Structure 1
Amino acid sequence: MNILLIGCGNMGAAMAVGISRDYDYDLVIVDPDLQRVRQQVGASVAAELASNLSEISGRAFDLCIVAVKPNLVQATARQMAQLLTVSLTVSIAAGIDIASLRSWSSPATKIVRAMPNLAASVGQSMTVAVAEPSLSREERTTVKTILETAGRFAWLEDEAFIDPVTAVAGSGPAYVFAFAQYLAAAASSLGLEDTFAAELVRQTLIGAAGLMERTESSFPQLKAAVTSPGGTTEAGLSALESGTALADLLQACVAKAAARAAALRTEAATRA
């Protein structure tokens, strides 16, 4: 299979590393900063490198992953339509809907819109995608195979769900990192040395994530397993969950992120 990857920032590099690790596909990476690409992917990725699409003009690819910044997707898609033959395009740009991608792309190219998250860099992304109806079962399997190199994958049948998924899974790692930041600060305020407080929080969250991964217990069940009546955890949760404080805060957090995802989509459609 011939795969083209356009854009090799953090997410693009993660995709390149995963594909090269799991499959012996012919991979071409296009990015204007080839020195950064070499630093990002290292010697583990065997790929042909090009600084722009003109360098590979006239070539044909089975699948293209568009991993450029959202404001560059329109120009990139139109240049692809002029210079290349691409059977299947997978865009991982936030806020760019399938209708926009279709209007900028070659009629012969089938379109998939995907949303991974930063954990792709360690093979632990939660990636979702929605496809044009014209995709065959075999093509859907191909996309799933490629995107699973970054972690777990699920199809969405309705593009309307991309915005809430973005608000939870796409932005979610930042919420976890913010929680870690403030938990470590709380530990330091009790006299623990900053570096040790950070280590304590980091391993606690890693351990909790491991428990969620290895058990089918629900989140409330896992919480209950840690919480003894009258104990320290119950005392801490009484502050964290005072009234509906935490639930309300997360509801507002996800709602604002989803609204921004919708706004980005509208802005992109307006630019088109």
Structure 2
Amino acid sequence: MHLPASLRRLVAVLAVGLPALAAAQGSAPKAAAPEKAAASAKMSPEEVLRHIDSRMSFASDFKSTVRMREVRKDGSESLLEMLVYRRDSSKDLLIYITKPRTIAGGGYLRIGKNLWEYEPGTGQWQRTTQRGNIVNTIACEEDFDRSRLAENYDVKDEGEEVVKGTVFRKLYLTVKEGQQVSFPMLRLWVDPSYNIVKRSGYAPSGRVLRTDVIRSYQKLKDPGANQKEVYSIKEVLEVEEGEGTQLTVRYDEVELAPLSPNIFTKTWLEGKLR
């Protein structure tokens, strides 16, 4: 089975690197003017991480319909749809699976530092790991959570790459002692507007586990923060290096508005099938 043309183009972006990525970024926020790029370069690596976290965190509750398309190396394809609920102020997270019908009604709930998976067929909850795959895809819990880069990682600057007039800043991140993350090491490419356009996650050995190209962002007004401008990922391509699996994730119908506290409970998810 051949890959769709859109996926082939995205895979080509990964293979070629940042020059192709810069050309493909028409749907992402426009890069800043040269003077803004110069100001960005003056920020320390730690300040850059804190700024990214601030832009991608919400005072309001968050809800989105997430649509995923996974294509494996053998050409097999699966389509999934989920509702993701977040409350950044208390670190609450719930994922409710709506499609396909064979697994609809299941989901994931984070309670404290523990992530629980619900199996609707048996009505049982099972504790899973933070690195565990969501819905048997290459996605993990952190993909749907708020950005906590400064909290979780130490960072060092790896310089800049200038592509077609756009300055991409490279940052290398290593997990802080005592923090639990999906990837103990990360490498980020950040544009002058503080958008992460590419990121690679590594194993402790230094082997690349997954590389993501963030295709586009969506700008939102946060009602809980006096209409502050915040940013949420719109579409990202995730590629698992070992198996060659590709996952396109789209965040649609994003809402920043109050959610019932009952949503972040086992009872709420169990009741969806009643």
**Which bin holds the TM-score, normalised by the shorter protein?**
under 0.3
Which structure has more RCO (C-alpha within 8 Å, separation ≥ 6)? 2
TM-score (norm: length of structure 1)? 0.28
Q: Which has the higher helix share?
A: 1
TM-score (norm 2): 0.28
> Quick check: which has more Rg, 1 or 2?
1
